[in-house]
Amino acid sequence: MREPDGAENEKMTIILKPLKIGGLTIDFPVVLAALAGYSDLPYRKICRSLGAPFATTEVMIDRFLLHESKLRRFILKSDADDHPVGGQFMGSDPELMVRAAFVIRDLGFDVVDLNFACPVRKVVSRKRGGFMMTQPEAVLEIVRRVREAVPDRPLMLKLRRSFDLDETDAEAFWTIAQGAFEAGVDALCVHARAVEQQYTGRADWNFLSAVKRAFPDRTIIGSGDVATAAEAIRMIAETGVDGAAAARGAIGNPWLFRQARELAAGRPALPPTITEQRDVLLRHYELCLRHYGDRKGVMTMRHLGIAYARVHPHPKRVRMAFVAVKTAEDWRNVIETHYRETAEGPG
């Protein structure tokens, strides 16, 4: 008999509304965040099959979008079941950003998503991603040019609350947000940490409340510290944002989306059974091999198996087993050994 886990079993009283991004209506407001190394086509399909209503590619650098390559194929491949989907990219040259936006539109992405939030050092030092939080006028120039060039697709921005931790530049966020909405941006996804914080410390949900108060009629998606389904719903309830993006909380736990829908319907959020975990892992494996080919597919699933281990009843043991995987056979052996319902419980 499965017990709902404590943190997931809170009584939720909020009525969740569909999420609107421009002309797009997304039936449920807990979505899969853009996640480098994770939010590829296989994982988007897995998350959708468990209730995620919207997902975004990992971020690409604008100029890498412009030419066919293996990297572009891996990141931008989508299919008929993978909608609505956002295509995300970053850069600092308005001309290149416009050309990248054309590619995203022409490949059939439903939302054009510009990233001004990425904190990776190499990205920031090359004056892209989160660096742009120090350059509000340059951001707005890009936004206006992209909006004008691609008027027929919803446009969204990924922002951080500020660049530095002391918030000496706190005004930049508000300049960008105000200017972006005036330029016709349809939604902001706000990660409530400073760029310099990277992924450490707490996300400031009070900041999300302030953003929603400042733009009550605009679509704001909150990001930061959505570790569980209950936290996704609590973020929406407490801050008033229109949607919550699950990021690290969804890595290895695609059931978060099913749990969020259950909680929203007033039912307890049950953890996945061992059989459900096995089925999803096997399906993910097939999708990964199809997407990446055999060699890269198996190595990707080794890495993802390690992430999935955290929802297994014996996480340490299963994690170590995935860490030791070298071949497709090893990987299948981990599934056979640890994902079988036996009389004594999962092995």
Ligand X SMILES: Cc1cc2nc3c(=O)[nH]c(=O)nc-3n(C[C@H](O)[C@H](O)[C@H](O)COP(=O)(O)O)c2cc1C
Site residues (vs ligand X, CB under 6 A): 33-37, 58-59, 88, 115, 117, 158, 191, 199, 203, 223-226, 247-249
Looking at the Cβ atoms of 158 and 234, the one nearer to ligand X is 158
Run of H or E residues at 192: strand 187-194
Rank residues 158 and 312 by Cβ distance to ligand X and give the closer one.
158
Cβ at position 58, least distance to ligand X in Å: 4
- The CB-of-311 to ligand X minimum distance in angstroms stands at 16
Count CA atoms within 13 Å of residue 249 on its CB side.
24
To the nearest whole angstrom, how small is the minimum distance from the Cβ of residue 28 to ligand X? 17
- Exposure of 319 in the CB half-sphere (CA atoms within 13 A): 9
Closest to ligand X by CB, 1 vs 121, is 121
CB of 88 to ligand X, least distance (A): 6
Alpha helices in the chain (DSSP H): 41-49, 70-76, 94-106, 121-125, 136-149, 170-182, 205-214, 229-239, 255-264, 274-292, 294-308, 315-323, 328-338
> What's 341's DSSP letter?
-
In whole angstroms, how close is the CB of 322 to ligand X at the nearest point?
Answer: 18
CA dihedral sign, ordered 202, 193, 22, 53: negative
Of 118 and 274, CB closest to ligand X: 118
End-to-end CA, the chain: 17
Contact of 107 with 153, CB cutoff 8 Å: no
Contact 285, 301 (CB under 8 A): yes
Query: Cβ 120 to ligand X, closest distance in Å?
Result: 9
CB contact set of 198 (below 8 Å; sequence gap of 6+): 119
Count other C-beta atoms under 10 Å from residue 39's C-beta: 26
Note whether 274 and 339 are within 8 A (CB): yes
Indicate the residue among 16 and 59 with the shorter CB distance to ligand X. 59
Residue with tokens 């999803």: 280
For the CB of residue 346, give the shortest distance to ligand X in the complex, in Å: 27
SS3 (DSSP) at 47: helix
Cα dihedral sign, 279-284-285-290: positive
Q: Which is nearer to ligand X, 174 or 199 (CB)?
A: 199
Q: Which is nearer to ligand X, 59 or 111 (CB)?
A: 59
Tokens 């909405």, located at residue: 181
CB 1 → ligand X: shortest distance, Å? 30
Instruction: Indicate the residue among 205 and 331 with the shorter CB distance to ligand X.
Output: 205
